[in-house]
Amino acid sequence: MRRFWQRFLAYRAGLASGGYVALLAVVALVTFFWPGLDPHQISDTAMAAPSLDHLFGTDELGRDMLLGVLYGSQVSLAVGVSAAVGATLLGVMLGAAAGFWGGWLDLAVMRISEMFQVVPSFILAAVIVSLSGTGLTQVVAVIVLLAWPQIARITRGEVMRIKQLEFVDAVRCLGMREWEILATEVVPNAVAPVLAAGTLVVAQAILLEASLSFLGLSSADIISWGRMLNAGQRFLFNAWWMSVFPGLAIFLTVLAFNLLGDAVGSALNPRTITR
Amino acid sequence: MSDPILVLDNVSKTFRRSGGSPVKAVSNVSLTVGRGETVALVGESGSGKSTLGRIALGLLVPDSGRVVLEGQALGELSPEEFRRVRVAMQPIFQDASSSLNPRRSARELMEQALRGQSIDVEAKAAELLDRVGLSPGRDYLPRFPHEISGGQRQRLAVARALAMNPRLIIADEPLSGADVSIRGQILNLLLDIKAERNVAYLMITHDISIARHFADRVAVMQHGVIVETGPAEAVLSAPTHPYTQQLVAAVPVLEAPI
Amino acid sequence: MSRNILEIESLRLAYRTRGTVAYAMNGATLHVREGEAVGLVGESGSGKSTLARATLGLIPAKIARIESGRMAIDGQDVTRFSEDEWQAIRGNPVAMVFQDPLSYLNPVMRVGKQIAESVRMHAPRAPLEARVAELLSLVKLPPAAVDAYPHELSGGMRQRALLAIALGCGPKLLVADEPTTALDVTTQAEILALIRELRERLGMALLLISHDLGIVASACDRIYVMYAGHTIEWGQAADVFGKPAHPYTVGLLKAAQAARNAEGRFATIAGDPPNLAELSPGCPFTPRCPLARAECSREMPAPGPALNAGAQEVRCWAHRQA
């Protein structure tokens, strides 16, 4: 454990991105619990450029952009993290089972995962939204369905490698049941690359949520960075601040999670030389 | 033999390779290990000895033939019964780095092996570690496999094998990963355990000298078939089968007058 | 008086990582004369593999540096050689064969082509096909092997292919690092016989490195024994193996024979192999030595003649006159 932190902290980009994500989490929590501030507050000063009163300017309804960006972090983090957790759980379960038992189970899981990898994401999103409406749960569901195959593949590969190691046979000889072996002996050893991939899914999820919101496939009264981009596209030349600040937020957050994934990956890999 | 601990009765196993012809790894092999007896299974790579070892341990199901452990045919047991019966035989593998879960401490590994026994697990674990030369046992409990040396890892593997009080230990090349100068430590440990507990050994090895000096009986395997069996010293000092003769002759002789 | 094709004098080579220093070679001294077969014996932590790689400059300066001492190949001082200078002498005069031929052969290139590569680099004007065929027959591989991929050959055949590649360079010194460890006993004997024959035909010197005493005893004239980066005993094979001097050599020989004493115990050396990063001053064998005395933990003795043994030299306080 100590060595994990040593390697993680030595990777400077990981340190920076970890700090950013922590900051983002703080912002999301603070804005969630802080009474009094209302990002939905409409005012008379619509489309105002950034100034001391409104650091990020205002949008077409006079809502403060800074507040919007800060509150938007809630959605991004919530969607990102829950989608990543969901995709990881689903992917690990199916991938581990497929890799461990092989045979027709493996074939079935692989073909199904390929289906989901091949389907264009927006078609799937549009279908789900049209069936059950817009809303954050639907957005998360779409992302989980799109992201689980990559996790499953990584898990399956690791499980197939680990199940051949002798310690698996050794516990078999102790009388352990097969599913128990998979859950307690094999999967914990397979987890390292999966964790790294999981953080990348957060980044993907945030982007996807932003895209879906941008296309109008999510609910109108949710404040999210994607939604703000959607609103801002019409005023790209008159009110650049309506697009730039949410866009910057998306960019920085996705970058941070990507770097975080890299850092976790190299920290868990004992053979990496730290920079 | 009146009451053997393990009987391999006409066992065969064929592997189908994708895109290639099937390989008959084990062909109608019969082998018996008596209680408290040490049998060496000797062969080169491709002889099928490791496959036979896995069949004996119940890790591989033979295509034909029976594996009988303490009078019970493994293939005829229900999964529940099989899991209960198989613990009478325990493995020791070649590479202690891969035969111990790297994420488990010695304590956890021993607790796993001591599961189901209504005893003071921690005390028993420390005692077993002491027994295999990892003294003081208490101090080794929190250590992880990568924190101890290769020889110590192999001892830990032996301690785990002993936890279930097995009547038979099947060791697949247990000394191949260890330095020559410390092999004797492991062999002496195995001798002590045999003296204390009357454990039988099936030692799978390619090393003729070890087979000759450690085992009571030897079975020589080539291409999936046993070509010669008999008392270890006799067979390996004066082999009758041409393959055994070839094997023994190929070992470079160390002429030291010690 | 033939000269030395390889000279290593009191070489110290250190692996430095954050906070720890490990001397893989700690004052090792070794000579190989032209045409001679020298064996280097040692176990884990002895430094023998590091020495093997150092003779071909295969240890990058970033990972480990030569801190003192000297190494010369075919009369040239290579201690401070740059990568370019090493490239010029690799293959000729010094070539190497390794333990696991499968990892050291290019899996996607036919064997004949790999041998041809080696020939082309060192004898660019030689008739390629003829030379490759000649090399194949030298190592007793069938001519058909030219078109084979490494995975299509058996372990023994792959090792022969590796030998052919090494020989294609026309080396004066062949460094063989555990060349038969990955092979079956019967194949092992064939490869050793082949190496012996090649030496006689080509007048090549051999540095054979192994943990297997039997192999080294059967193939080499002179032996060096290494422990924790030091060469602790060296001399004629008959002396070192017949009348071993250093307590480590004595223990190693007894253990190698897998013989049991009168009480039925197997011979062994107590303790664990040395951890190069955690060595105390003095002789590194002290914690495991049955003859350890006060001087041993203070200082490493200089080389001297062995007492009550053969004509070999040894670094051991027990062999000093009182």
Q: What is the pLDDT of residues A16-31, one digit of tens each?
A: 888 888 888 888 888 8
Of residues B252 and B102, more confidently modeled: B102
**B-interface mutation test, from A165, A167, A268, most B Cβ less than 10 A away:** A167
pLDDT value, residue C228:
93
CB contact under 8 A, B253 and C257: no
The CATH number given to whatever domain includes residue B2 is 3.40.50.300
| pLDDT the model gives residue C103 | 85
> Which of the other chains make 3 or more beta carbon contacts under 8 angstroms with chain A?
B
Distance, in Å, from the CA atom of C305 to the CA atom of C316, rounded to the nearest integer, reads: 10
Q: Does residue B124 lie within any of the structural domains?
A: no
Work out the average pLDDT over C72-81. 90
Q: Give the CA distances from residue C180 to residues B229, C107, C189, C214, C225, in Å, rounded to whole numbers and listed in that order.
A: 28, 20, 9, 12, 19
Whether C151 and C207 map to the same domain: the answer is yes
List Cβ neighbours of C82 (8 Å cut-off, separation of 6 or more): none
User: Is there a contact between B220 and B235 (Cβ–Cβ < 8 Å)?
Assistant: yes
> Nearest by CB to A175, which of B84, B94, B102?
B84
Of residues C138 and A57, the one with the higher pLDDT is C138
Torsion of CA B161, B163, B164, B167, to 10 degrees: 60
Give yes or no: residues C150 and C259 share one domain: no
Tell whether C143 and C262 lie within a shared domain. no
Residue predicted with more confidence, C177 or A234? C177
> In the prediction, which pLDDT does C321 show?
64
Asked if omega into C247 is within 30° of 0 (cis), the reply is no
Is residue C121 within 8 Å of C115, Cβ to Cβ?
Answer: no
How many folded domains does chain C comprise?
Answer: 2
Residue A10 has pLDDT above 70, yes or no: no
Q: State the Cα–Cα distance between residues C220 and C40, nearest whole angstrom.
A: 9
Q: What mean pLDDT value characterizes chain A?
A: 83
Tell whether C268 is covered by a domain: yes
Across C40-54, average pLDDT: 91
Number of Cβ pairs < 8 A linking chain A and chain B: 52
Categorize the per-residue pLDDT at A269 as very low, low, confident or very high, splitting at 50, 70 and 90. low
Would residue B2 count as lying in a domain?
Answer: yes
Quickly list DSSP for C1-14: ---EEEEEEEEEEE
Total count of domains within chain B: 1
What residues of B are in contact with residue A268 (Cβ under 8 Å)? Answer: none
Mean pLDDT of A77-100: 93
Instruction: Flag whether pLDDT at C322 surpasses 70.
Output: no
Q: Is B51 on the interface with A (CB under 8 A)?
A: no
pLDDT at A65: 82
* Residue C46 lies inside a defined structural domain of this protein: yes
* Structure tokens belonging to residue C100: 């696991």
Question: C276 and C143, same structural domain?
Answer: no
Least confident of A112-116, A270-274, C3-7: A270-274
Helices and strands counted in chain C (H then E): 10, 12
CATH class of A2-34+58-268: mainly alpha
Tell me the pairing of strands B200-205 and B168-172.
parallel
Q: B10-14, B153-157, C198-202: which range is least confident on average? A: C198-202
Overall average pLDDT of the B5-22 stretch = 89
More reliable by pLDDT, B151 or A154? A154
Q: What is the pLDDT of residues B26-80, one digit of tens each?
A: 999 999 999 999 999 999 988 999 999 999 999 999 999 999 999 999 999 999 9
Most confident residue range from A206-215, A228-237, C209-218: C209-218
With residue C228 as reference, give the H or E element that holds it: none
pLDDT band at A3 (very low <50, low <70, confident <90, very high): low
| Chain B positions in Cβ-Cβ contact with residue C194 (cut-off 8 Å) | none
Mean pLDDT rounded to a whole number for chain B: 90
Higher pLDDT: A258 or A96? It is: A96
Any domain includes C120: yes
d(C-alpha A158, C-alpha A193), whole Å:
8
- Cα–Cα distance for residue pair C10/C27, rounded to 1 Å: 4
C96 is a domain residue: yes
Q: What integer pLDDT is reported at residue A109 of this predicted model?
A: 95
The reply to whether B83 touches chain A by the CB within 8 Å rule is: yes
Residue-wise pLDDT for A158-194, tens only, equals 999 999 999 999 999 999 999 999 999 999 888 888 8
The pLDDT, as a whole number, for residue B258 is 44
pLDDT at A1: 59
Calculate the alpha carbon distances from B126 to A100, B115, B123, B137 in Å. Answer: 34, 15, 5, 4
Q: How far is B143 from B125, CA to CA, in rounded Å?
A: 13
- Least-confidence region, from A99-113, C221-235, C269-283: C269-283
CB contact under 8 A, B98 and A166: yes
Which chain B residue's Cα is nearest to C274? B149
Tell me what pLDDT residue B257 has: 47
Task: Give chain C positions within 8 Å (CB) of B193.
Answer: none
User: What separation, in Å, do the N-terminal and C-terminal C-alpha atoms of chain A show?
Assistant: 19
Are B98 and A170 in contact (CB < 8 Å)? no
CA distance C82 to chain B (A): 35
Contacts of residue B64, defined as CB under 8 A and 6 or more positions apart, other chains included, come to: B10, B11, B12
Do C115 and C256 share a domain, yes or no?
A: no
Q: Which of B180, B183, B247 should we substitute to test contact with C (largest number of C Cβ atoms within 10 Å)?
A: B180
Q: Are residues C246 and C190 in the same domain?
A: no
Q: Quick one: closest CA in A to B164, which residue? A: A174
pLDDT score for A21? 84
Write the ipTM.
0.89
CB contact under 8 A, B255 and C217: yes
B95:A166 CB<8 A = yes
One-letter identity of residue B234: A
Q: Residue C280's domain spans which residues?
A: 238-319
User: How high is the pLDDT of residue A272?
Assistant: 43
Same domain? For C315 and C177 the reply is no
For C86-115, what is the mean pLDDT?
89
| Residue C73 pLDDT class (50, 70, 90 cuts) | very high
Q: What percent of chain B has pLDDT over 70?
A: 98
pLDDT in tens, B156-196: 999 999 998 999 999 999 998 888 888 999 999 999 999 99
pLDDT (0 to 100) of residue A275:
30
Evaluate whether residue B134 is within a structural domain: no
Residue from the list B187, B207, B257 with its beta carbon closest to the beta carbon of C242: B257
Contact between B57 and A188 using a beta-carbon 8 Å cutoff? no
Mean pLDDT of A37-42: 76
If asked whether residues C276 and C301 sit together in one domain, one would say yes
Determine the residue type at A64. D
> Domain extents for chain A?
2-34+58-268
From residue A229, alpha-carbon distances to A39, A67, A124, C227, C257 in Å are: 16, 15, 22, 69, 79
Of C244, C251, C272, the CB nearest to B151: C272
Residue C293 has pLDDT above 50, yes or no: yes
Q: pLDDT at residue C98 above 60?
A: yes
Which chain B residues are Cβ-neighbours of A169 within 8 angstroms?
A: 54, 57, 59, 91, 93, 99
User: What confidence score (pLDDT) does residue A52 get?
Assistant: 77
Shortest distance, CA B258 to any CA of chain C (angstroms): 7
Nearest residue of chain B to residue A165 (CA atoms): B98
Chain mean pLDDT for chain C: 89
- In this complex, do A175 and B89 lie within 8 Å of one another by their Cβ atoms? no
Q: Which chains touch C (3 or more CB pairs under 8 A)?
A: B
Does the pTM surpass 0.95? The reply is no
Q: What is the domain range of residue B246? A: 1-76+207-258
